[in-house]
Structure 1
Amino acid sequence: MFKTLLVMAALLLPGLVLADTADTTTHAASQSEVVWQALKEGASGYTTSQSEFHGQPINSYDPRILPLRSNILAPGLMLALFGMIAVFILFIMVNGISKLHHGFSGKMVFRWSKRDVAIHWLGAIPCLLLILTGLMLLAGRFFVEPVMGQGAFASMMALVKPVHDIMAFPFMAGWLLMTLLWAKNQIPAKYDLDWFLVVGGYINFGPFKGKHPDAGFANAGEKLWFWTFAAFGLVISLSGIVLLFPQYVEPSRTLSLLAIVAHGASAIIICAFSIVHIFMATVMSEGGMECMVSGYCDENWAKQHHNVWYDDIKADGSLQYKS
């Protein structure tokens, strides 16, 4: 049992001082199963480390979790970002954008308040920075460092890490405000299914051409994005807090690992949806970007893309034009 503890200590506790190093190294591989069994039973050792977690050996988790970062999460985030960008570029080259069939009316309809516009950018700008810096933190070692070299990559990461940590706070504030204040306009409606069936009316060829499905204040695609952002934004925020403040949350090392996995998986989903959202707002939908710049949209844009909402505000007298 003593030799088993020495093997476990040599494997698990950095800074350990051992007398029989050569012997334990020789037997390490053959006794690995015994080591892990002893670990799970609560065996401990001595280390010179001054870390607040110095009494905790490394995790006794399923070793299949370890390759998740390099084999799944890292390439998954790269694919979510660059893959979705490539898909949209190809789609636009083949399909074109969604133009206003009656052109711009020149009359601007009130859609978002200044407060809502500010909240949107409070969440959007940090979200973009978190995606880019998170990409470096999660996948940079596997995809960027071999190209840049270790020294240059290390210098870049010295800037990336604090930016990622700082941007987490405005992102969480924006996520919380958007979730609480905008949920009322994101309730699914019967006509949302029809929106998906004709791909929102954005297809310019075949049987889908010229189709303009009904949509309220938010169309079905925006609702799907909102609830995805709300759900996975919660996961990414909670896991981020665990990773940012381990000294206060006091997680086990297994919890920290699970937080990294949950954080990375949520980042992949939010990244993919963010690319779709950005392309739809800035490129695919003619006149769409104006909504989150001034808070107003062209009247013909409102009629074409959000006809149910436009008819409602016109009927109840709440339709406001920009003076």
Structure 2
Amino acid sequence: MKLTSLRSLFVSLVLPLVVLMGIGLSTSALAGDDQTSQQIENATTSEADLWRAVKAGDPGYTVAKGLEANVLINVAGNEGKNIKIEYINPAMGMVVLGVFGAFLIFYLVNGPSKLSKGFSGKMVLRWSKADLIIHWVLAISCLALIFTGITIMLGRYFLQPYVGEGVWSALIYGSKTIHDYVSPLFIISWLLSVVKWMPLQTLKMYDLKWFLVVGGYINFGPFKGKHPDSGFANAGEKMWFWTLAIFGLFISISGIMLVLPVLDLPREASMAALLIHGISATIIIGFTIVHIWMATVLSEGGMECMTSGYCDENWAVQHHNLWYDEIKENGTLEYKD
């Protein structure tokens, strides 16, 4: 066969085959590129969906075991943290500064509530030794919890920027330790005070008048010299007692939930306890500041009651006249020797 004929045969048979193979390979390559692009797109979509699910708190699978181990991000926990930072922390700061500042201004303008007839020199028994012990254990533990709690909640804003890291670490650790170990004393003394003093805290119709004349503490205007009727506890003391009784219960239960890891609570329950604890603490702090102001500098002779258990007779007549009349009539009036 001639060489020319062989070349013609090669061109007519092999060349079309090569062209077809090339077209096939190109098509396959294009298809592969499309498949790779689709895989990349699918992978990107899948990853985005995964993170959306994680951020939404959807459960998955983790090697760790235990309560909520398969949930990487707890939505309720994050929302609760935001509520605490945005609302409860500022509210606590405003209560501390606002209530204290308001009573300071009131004291500077109004002055203390003086005894109209001065001190008589006769001291009347008002509180037993057991009452004094309960009161001071409750007062000291409550103040310790308030100061350490404020440090834990707000210290990062008004203390941490101005002290060294070592000082701040020691301070926050000490505050947390004191807070945890003082809490049982508060709970026990709170429970004893509620049980022992509740019968003296029933609300009466004359308590309304006490509020209308601001308890007789105003030294100017139409309220000057107004001394409303009051039993053993006046309306302000009753309000403080019931506030402590109710929110002391909330703060005790929520505190126990927060410090006992054996309870193994869901994150939602722990965050709810933290928020209730913060709200209750804010309310108790506000009323504690009021109580301290009213019992010390705003009431002449008032502090003596809780140091010795006795009050001046003129103080009893002016601030708790119905109680004084009652113990005088039933023969339980007892003077200090």
Aligned mate of 1:141, from 156, 172, 179:
156
Map 1:157-306; keep pairs closer than 5 Å. 157-247=172-262, 249-306=263-320
Q: Percent identity?
A: 50
Aligned mate of 2:61, from 16, 24, 44:
44
Match of 1:74 in 2: 89
Q: Note the aligned Cα RMSD (angstroms).
A: 2.0
Aligned mate of 2:54, from 13, 30, 35:
35
Which consecutive unaligned segments of at least 5 residues does structure 1 have? 1-22
Tell me whether 1:59 sits opposite 2:74 in the alignment: yes
Match of 1:311 in 2: 325
Match of 1:320 in 2: 334
Structure with higher helix content:
2
- Of the structure 1 ranges 130-139 and 57-66, higher mean CA displacement relative to structure 2 is found in 57-66
Which residue identity lines up with residue 221 of structure 2 in the other structure? G
CA shift digits 1:163-217 (9 cap, x unpaired): 1111101000110000111000000001000000011010111111111100000
Q: Does the 8 Å contact 1:201/1:211 carry over to 2?
A: yes
Which consecutive unaligned segments of at least 5 residues does structure 2 have? 1-42
Match of 1:13 in 2: none
Q: Does the 8 Å contact 2:122/2:312 carry over to 1?
A: yes
Which residue identity lines up with residue 210 of structure 2 in the other structure? W
TM-score by length of 2: 0.82
How many equivalent pairs are there?
A: 293
Aligned mate of 1:154, from 133, 144, 169:
169
CA distance in 2, matches of 1:142, 1:214: 45
- Of the structure 1 ranges 218-227 and 134-143, higher mean CA displacement relative to structure 2 is found in 134-143
Match of 1:109 in 2: 124
CA distance in 2, matches of 1:54, 1:255: 12
Q: Does the 8 Å contact 1:98/1:284 carry over to 2?
A: yes
TM-score by length of 1: 0.86
CA shift digits 1:287-315 (9 cap, x unpaired): 00111111110000000000010011111
Match of 2:23 in 1: none
Which residue identity lines up with residue 116 of structure 2 in the other structure? H
Structure 1 residue 34 displacement after superposition = 2.7
- Of the structure 1 ranges 162-171 and 81-90, higher mean CA displacement relative to structure 2 is found in 81-90
Which residue identity lines up with residue 194 of structure 1 in the other structure? K
Q: Does the 8 Å contact 2:114/2:299 carry over to 1?
A: yes
CA distance in 2, matches of 1:56, 1:311: 68
The structure number with the bigger radius of gyration is: 2
Q: Does the 8 Å contact 1:70/1:142 carry over to 2?
A: no
Q: Does the 8 Å contact 2:115/2:300 carry over to 1?
A: yes
Which residue identity lines up with residue 179 of structure 1 in the other structure? V
CA shift digits 1:4-61 (9 cap, x unpaired): xxxxxxxxxxxxxxxxxxx89x956x75443355x44x433224xx9x6572634232
Match of 1:5 in 2: none
CA distance in 1, matches of 2:134, 2:68: 42
Which residue identity lines up with residue 189 of structure 1 in the other structure? K
CA distance in 2, matches of 1:261, 1:200: 34
CA distance in 2, matches of 1:200, 1:280: 10
Q: Is the partner of 1:66 in helix, strand or coil?
A: helix
Structure 1 residue 227 displacement after superposition = 0.3
- Of the structure 1 ranges 237-246 and 135-144, higher mean CA displacement relative to structure 2 is found in 135-144
Q: Is the partner of 2:296 in helix, strand or coil?
A: helix
Q: Is the partner of 1:283 in helix, strand or coil?
A: coil
- Of the structure 1 ranges 65-74 and 200-209, higher mean CA displacement relative to structure 2 is found in 65-74
- Of the structure 1 ranges 117-126 and 134-143, higher mean CA displacement relative to structure 2 is found in 134-143
CA change 1:62–1:246 in 2 (3 A) is closer
Q: Does the 8 Å contact 1:195/1:219 carry over to 2?
A: yes
Structure 1 residue 253 displacement after superposition = 1.2
Structure 1 residue 71 displacement after superposition = 1.8
- Of the structure 1 ranges 57-66 and 85-94, higher mean CA displacement relative to structure 2 is found in 57-66
Q: Does the 8 Å contact 1:73/1:138 carry over to 2?
A: no
- Of the structure 1 ranges 89-98 and 139-148, higher mean CA displacement relative to structure 2 is found in 139-148
Which residue identity lines up with residue 328 of structure 2 in the other structure? K
CA distance in 2, matches of 1:322, 1:163: 38
Q: Does the 8 Å contact 1:69/1:138 carry over to 2?
A: no
Tell me whether 1:95 sits opposite 2:114 in the alignment: no
